[in-house]
Structure 1
Amino acid sequence: MATDPYLSVKALTKYIKKKFDADPHLRDVYVKGELSNVKIHTSGHIYFTLKDNSARLPAVMFSANARTVKFKPESGMTVLIRGDVTVYEASGQYQLYAQSMQADGIGDYYLAFEQLKEKLAAEGLFNAVHKKPFPRFPRKIAVVTAPTGAAVRDICITLHRRYPLAKIVIYPTLVQGAQAVQSIVQSIQAANKSDYDVMIVGRGGGSIEDLWAFNEEAVARAIFQSRIPVISAVGHETDTTIADFVADLRAATPTAAAELAVPSKAELLERLLSYRTAMYRMASNTITKDKTALNRVTSSMPFAYPDRLYRPFIERVERATDSLQREVIQNYRRSRERHANIEKQLASRSPINSIKQSSVDLEHLQKRLDGLISQSLKNRSQQLSSAMRTLDALSPLKIMDRGYTIAYKGSQVVKSVAQIEEGEKLTIAMKDGSLSATVTERILTNKGDN
């Protein structure tokens, strides 16, 4: 039986892939080209096309390698890529699997720096309107930096020398290496949970790689979101980081940051001495001027001869005293005369006589009232006796004494035979008790009644 010469697409693709994989020249290739159709997946994988004037090469960079790229790949960039070439079986096309990527012509760090700087500037993180003011006399200062080294030593020495009243709290932080970004962000956030007046964030000098943690977006946003005013103090005067742009104030060195954070004790003392001298001078001038004015007043004519000032007032007081005494005597006399007249009027209008006459009238009226009450009671008693005799004569009990009875149907008095039916029960009230009776027959005296 003849062998089938046809291969499946899958088998052919696998064969070609093995050829690619077996070629040592395709296992580690260096390619230069322009990025096109760049797509960064949510997983972190980067899909793109590498091209030049004559050809295109599909490529992919997985997230594990993509994390090592300092800049953000964008279409149009010329890059240097190291990787391997093989066949992607699902589509049957060969593609480049990038392991590293560098920008061509400029450094990766510089490109990443410029990209992040442009992004954050567009968002307004560098705007002066967001810069927070610094207190003139801070009480508590947070220092976010490495716990050892020249930077933290210079900051502490400078702060103690310039303004020993401020309390300094060090937040030990990794400022270099893979974990530096997370450590810096955590220290800034931790400091914001306390009531610090100023925060210094920085480190000593070094290469761009050493300082790179302060060029990361997470650190920049943590500084921007800090409610505590932040002084950035990274590296030397020539070093510039993204943190410097976002911070509320940028210091050339850690020592300069400490000098910006607090006032100088010597300058404050000098200023206080200057104020004291000025106050003494002002007080002295004021006293001298007031003494001169006082001497001028005391040497003037009225104060030189004070008896002339009060002499006219003495005469006026004496005349006023005489007038007052005369007026008092006259008022006393007039008051006595008015009092005597009033006593006479009161004596003539005394209520004693009226009270005596009213007592006599009251006694007379009392006797008259007692007589009227006695007569009224007598009349009422006679009327009551007459009424009781009438009631007694009309009482049904008197009638029962003569042999009469009263029939009740329940509680109702029976007045007519017509009210009763045969078989009904009645109660017969008599003089000395009552009887229960049943009607066996009705006898009507009027014709036509049943």
Structure 2
Amino acid sequence: MNTTITVSQLNRYVKARLDEDYRLQDLLLSGEISNFNNHYRSGHFYFVLKDKDAAVHAVMFRSNAQSLRFLPADGMKVVVRCSVSLYERDGSYQVYVREMFPDGAGALYLAFEQLKAKLSKEGLFDEARKRELPRYPQTVGIVTSPTGAAVQDMINILSRRWPLCEVRFAPATVQGDGAAGSIIAALRALTGEGKSELIIVGRGGGSFEDLFCFNDEALAREIYRCPVPVISAVGHETDYTICDFVADLRAPTPSAAAELAVPDVREVCFLLGNLEASMGDTLGRKLKGYESRLQNAAALAHSHAPMARLREAQQRVDSLGERLRAQMAQQLRLRWERLHAQGALIESLSPMRTLARGYSVLKKEGEGVRSVSQVRRGDALTAFLADGQLSLTVEEIKKTKARTGLGG
């Protein structure tokens, strides 16, 4: 005889069976949005996903919806990552959406997810294999487009923060067909020289499609095999690529990568000053301690030994004191010489010192002139020298053959 159950029991049973099916818990589902409702109070999205033959109800809760980078609308074709379950109250099944992408990026996103899972399983993303960045790098390599703003931002920040650092630039195509191969070639050029201690790979912001060359498997493996640490700086803070996961460090932007790559010279000088002061205090305390012990020993010898032994002890006290003073003076002198040498080196890199050697800086309408292609005959220029500035007019332009090779 069949057992009678309630509607609630039936719905609960069907929901449990759906939830137990692992194949329904992580789906990539494509369809067209209709009946879209952005619930203004809760922040949840309610809509229907349909194709030409069928439809299914869908919900995207606020916690997931607020991370979307676009606003869904009726008629929009999308790919969603979702799970399937039953809404017990109405007895209807629906999909619960965690992520949503315009259908144009759906295939690319699926390829991204599959490659990400593959490389993660192989251990290319393991934190244990990632290397620490050199603390005081003398040479930093940059791989990015030669025409974007990112390269100039990085070079300016590196030069300002750590003037002792040499920047080696390997230009690459960072978007479109062949971009991944171009980036790989630039990486190999920098590592082949054997001079770069650290390499920054990246570009400025763009769409998911624009950044997709940084999801290339060959490029990911090249970064994994790179003999020096690599910082990935692709797009904006919310953009993630395969290169970000495999690199030794991910920076949210190219400018942030330059900040992370080198120390601030001002902080280093401040630290050296503190170390010098601390060393002087330590040596002074030790010297006073030794002098006190020697004086106590001399007093003890005076009270327990003849005058001859007292004089000998006093001589040893004086000799040891002189040696201690000499050692302290030598240590302080060595530390000062090192600090002075570092300061002189930093001073030698000052732009004003360069101007004093006879160089000048040309500007047109407030912007620096780096190439003859920036000026025309008759243009008004301003030349900045060490002791003033000149107003100039361009009468003749002669262009010389550009040097080739990596920048350095």
Give TM-score scaled by structure 2 length.
0.48
Bigger Rg, which one: 1
Higher RCO (CA < 8 A, seq sep 6+): 2
